[in-house]
Amino acid sequence: MKFRCGSSNSVQQGLKRDSQRRRCVVFERDMSFHYVQPLLDGIRDYFAEAGNDDYNLISSGRVDYVFHGYSTFDSISALLCWFTNEKDVRSLQKIRSPYLNLSGGNCCSNVGIDIGFERIGKYGASYLIDELGYRSLAVIGCKGQSKSDERVKEFVEAAGEAGLRAEVCRLEVPDVQESGYEDIEDEVRRVKYIRGQLETFLYRLGKPVGIFCADAVLGIHVESLTRSLGMDAGQQFNVVCPSNHELDREMNGKRISTIQLDFRELGYRGTELMMSYLHSGNAYRLRLRPIGVSSATKVASGQIADSVARRAILLIKENCSLTPEDICQRLNVSTATLYRRFKGATNKTPFEAIDDERFARAQTALRTTNYHFEAIAGLAGYSGVAQLRGSVLRHTCLSLKDFRKKCRGLLKV
């Protein structure tokens, strides 16, 4: 079976040709999204095994492919997608072809197919209670989002079954504008609003505490915020959240444990259900089990013998907006002493260590969000976009725009 990945310039002609030959299934999603590749791999696995030449898979590779009018072509037999944006989810109601939204949520399908992962909240509770032995628990989700609400409910129920009470934080997340995009002021305000709610919640928790976050982005926000507030994510908090797929290794390095979800299997089984519906009209509900937990690693700063360098590293990890001069003031040492002892212990200057930490945070934000560069610079501790751009150039020899493309798998270097 042949597969074609169409671009915005060539797909329309391809669809017209397919209407006279094979029917096609379209996968719709911006290719930068971190779940896309394993989902596509699973979809292709199904077609390769089925050996059915009646259908041809086309991957759009960008947002709004179908919503630009391609749904009117008779050759589109089904639409597979991954949408979480409420505007895009609402737009699915207008699709005349059978569709399956593999992200689940408020709008899963228009033909009765229901597929997703099984009891993620209960799995997170079991890990924190049974494997790590936590008796103090907390759960964080987004208010009004069905998948998040379901996982929060599961976690609370599982904690109750173990005789424990879980503190609950349901974040109020401002809606994206009707266009689906935010200007920079709205975006910065939205991020600050979410982080303000998280900060208030984290401060009132007893410690140590095991925290379950209903999705991966929340886990990243919580871990980053605990560091900026000077809290020890390894001692005071233990964060677990669902898998972010390609960022799992980086998340583990940031002391976030991840519940492993097999998105390749999700793509395969979702396609199987859709093809069954197209051939027989039968629709099913299917839940896939998690495949384990990837435990967070511990930061190795405690292995550095020099006390000044060790304390400086902890300050940088807690607040990477600090300058070397700020660190000298907090440690009550001279600039010469700090540079000499830090360089001797780490083979880096304090500025290089600060820049590395900021770059790591910016890289995560570029991979996992659509924030404007100004917002990312602020979140990562840079003074502005110019400093962010210079840091990216030093680390990668790429422009800021090209580096974002590389982070999202859109640039081959």
Residues in the chain: 413
Q: Are 140 and 119 in contact (CB under 8 A)?
A: no
Domains 11-110 and 120-260 belong to one CATH topology: yes
Which class would CATH give 11-110? alpha beta
Q: What is the CATH number of domain 120-260?
A: 3.40.50.2300
413 pLDDT higher than 50: no
65 pLDDT higher than 80: no
- Using DSSP's 3-state secondary structure scheme, residue 372 falls into coil
48 pLDDT higher than 80: yes
Q: For residue 354, what pLDDT band results from cuts at 50, 70 and 90?
A: very high
- Cis, peptide link before residue 208, omega less than 30° from 0: yes
pLDDT score of 14: 45
Q: Are 385 and 377 in contact (CB under 8 A)?
A: yes
Mutual orientation of helices 350-368 and 385-396 as an angle, nearest 10°? 100
Segment of 34-43, 82-91, 262-271, 356-365 carrying the highest mean pLDDT: 262-271
Q: For residue 186, what pLDDT band results from cuts at 50, 70 and 90?
A: low
If one compares 383 and 30, the residue with the highest pLDDT of the two is 383
pTM score above 0.85: no
- Reported as a single tens digit per residue, the pLDDT across 136-185 is 999 999 888 888 899 999 999 999 999 999 999 999 877 655 444 455 66
Which class would CATH give 300-406? mainly alpha
Q: What is the mean pLDDT of residues 374-380?
A: 88
Chain mean pLDDT for the chain: 79
d(CA 143, CA 133): 28
Percent of the chain residues past pLDDT 90, beyond the cut: 22
Beta-strand pair 23-28/76-81: parallel
Q: What is the mean pLDDT of residues 247-270?
A: 80
Segment of 211-215, 236-240, 318-322 carrying the highest mean pLDDT: 211-215
d(CA 240, CA 259): 7
At 168, list the tokens.
């609950």
pLDDT score of 325: 93
Domain boundaries, the chain: 11-110, 120-260, 300-406
What lies within 8 Å, CB to CB, of 173 at 6+ separation is 142, 143, 144, 145, 190, 194
Percent of the chain residues past pLDDT 70, beyond the cut: 77
